[in-house]
Copies of this chain bind each other. A is one copy, B any other.
Amino acid sequence: MPQLRQDPATREWIIIAAERAKRPHEFRKAAEQKTAAPPPFSPDCPFCPGNETKTPPEIYSLRESTPGKGSAWKVRVVPNKFAALVPEGSLDRRVEAGFFRVMDGFGHHEVVIETPHHDKSLALLSQEEVLDVILTFRLRYHALRKMPGVEAIIIFENHGLSAGTSLEHPHSQIAAIPVIPNRMRTRFESALRYYDDLHHCVYCDMLAKEVQIGERIVEAGDDFVVINPYASIQPFETWIVPTRYRSSFGNISDEDCVQLAAVLRRTLRRLYFGLNNPDYNLIINNAPVADENKKYYLWHIQIIPRLTMRAGFEIGSGIYITTVFPEETAKYLRDYKDEETPEAGNIVAEPRCL
């Protein structure tokens, strides 16, 4: 029998379709489906070292400080060459034909080149290298939040062709936008309503419950908990949620960055090796810039592997169909280990925000 589950945070219903249900290992990419490993360097790639002039002028770079290594960059930030939004024009909202609301596509759309190595996606970087990427995210967040007109900052990564990436070289994107999207507003309002009712943060309550139940936990540390959420919209949807209450990623501390680098890397390795390098979208679900310090919201990372296809049912109804129980996928990810990914161990975390 299928099940309808409601996301406690957004009140979004999803279907777990038992008739179509698969076992977690069936989502593992078969050897013959595996894409060929990319080369460590690609002469035509605009993100590879030596090709820096092929990108728009650099906004920021993190560079080697080791003497003798010269000015080799470790992480590079450049404007998106095919920017969806540009820092030009007016921030005024106009009315067209007395009816339609419109404004210039004012905003910032940046690319974070995560590594000079063409073949090393986040899962394959060292912990220090992942930390460099996270510190770059935070630095650009802080720079962009001060820019005129920026209402929200979306940090995301598309990994693999079916996740919508056009360039193989590992990179993320940062979009600073002058409007609040409905999806963000709905998620935020829903959390506010919960707080109005119960005077708790719904994410903190959810974390506490998940830690208590345990079966959807991938790993739980003192600083971050990794779960496959109760109402997962896709198989293996994975959240990384901080246990310290903060509504915005922009408020993350240095120490949190170090812990996040370790947790994010382990989580991506579980997916990479456990499912044979699936394509995925990774999104930092943040508060609007004006709401960075609200008590009722908790920023979190959402990773959505692209293992199934979104079709008319989802588009038409707004209800996602998941074909495997998150309890099973969480166990699958929890059980995965390699030398660098120790087991989750005992679940000891207590959300500290309560």
Instruction: Please give the residue numbers on chain A whose beta carbons come within 8 Å of chain B beta carbons, in ascending order.
Output: 1-6, 8, 10-13, 15-20, 82-86, 88-89, 97-106, 152, 154-158, 163-165, 173, 175, 177-179, 181-184, 186, 205-206, 209, 212-213, 230-231, 281-285, 304, 309-313, 315-319, 321
Closest chain B residue, CB of each to CB of A283: B316
Nearest chain B CB to A66's CB is how many angstroms away? 33
- Name the contact of A309 in the complex, choosing from B103, B164, B186, B321 (C-beta under 8 A): B164
Residues of chain B within 8 A of A316, CB atoms compared: 154-156, 175, 281, 283-285
Can you give 13 A-B contacts (C-beta < 8 A)? Answer: A6-B179, A11-B182, A15-B84, A19-B84, A20-B82, A98-B209, A99-B205, A158-B312, A164-B312, A173-B312, A175-B316, A175-B317, A282-B312
Residues of chain B within 8 A of A86, CB atoms compared: 1-2, 19
Judge whether B311 and A281 touch: CB under 8 Å: yes
Residues of chain B within 8 A of A1, CB atoms compared: 86, 88-89, 104-105
Nearest chain B CB to A334's CB is how many angstroms away? 18
Judge whether A158 and B100 touch: CB under 8 Å: no
- Name the contact of A19 in the complex, choosing from B4, B83, B99, B184 (C-beta under 8 A): B83
Judge whether B105 and A315 touch: CB under 8 Å: no
Judge whether B309 and A6 touch: CB under 8 Å: no
State in angstroms the CA–CA spacing of A11 and B183 once bound together.
Answer: 11
- Name the contact of A313 in the complex, choosing from B105, B156, B179 (C-beta under 8 A): B156
Nearest chain B CB to A183's CB is how many angstroms away? 3
Judge whether B311 and A105 touch: CB under 8 Å: no
Residues of chain B within 8 A of A164, CB atoms compared: 309-313
Residues of chain B within 8 A of A231, CB atoms compared: 100
Judge whether B281 and A315 touch: CB under 8 Å: yes
Residues of chain B within 8 A of A212, CB atoms compared: 97
Nearest chain B CB to A167's CB is how many angstroms away? 12
**Can you name 7 extra interface pairs (CB under 8 A) apart from A1-B88, A156-B315?**
A2-B83, A4-B102, A6-B102, A8-B99, A97-B209, A173-B312, A177-B319
State in angstroms the CA–CA spacing of A278 and B88 once bound together.
Answer: 35
Closest chain B residue, CB of each to CB of A103: B4
Residues of chain B within 8 A of A318, CB atoms compared: 181-184
Judge whether B84 and A313 touch: CB under 8 Å: yes
Residues of chain B within 8 A of A19, CB atoms compared: 82-84, 86
Of listed A2, A10, A97, A163, residue having the most chain B CB within 10 A: A2
Are A317 and B88 CB-contacts (below 8 A) given A4-B103, A4-B105? no
State in angstroms the CA–CA spacing of A145 and B70 once bound together.
Answer: 71
- Name the contact of A3 in the complex, choosing from B6, B102, B304 (C-beta under 8 A): B102
Nearest chain B CB to A335's CB is how many angstroms away? 22
State in angstroms the CA–CA spacing of A170 and B309 once bound together.
Answer: 19
Residues of chain B within 8 A of A177, CB atoms compared: 317, 319
Residues of chain B within 8 A of A184, CB atoms compared: 317-318
Nearest chain B CB to A181's CB is how many angstroms away? 4
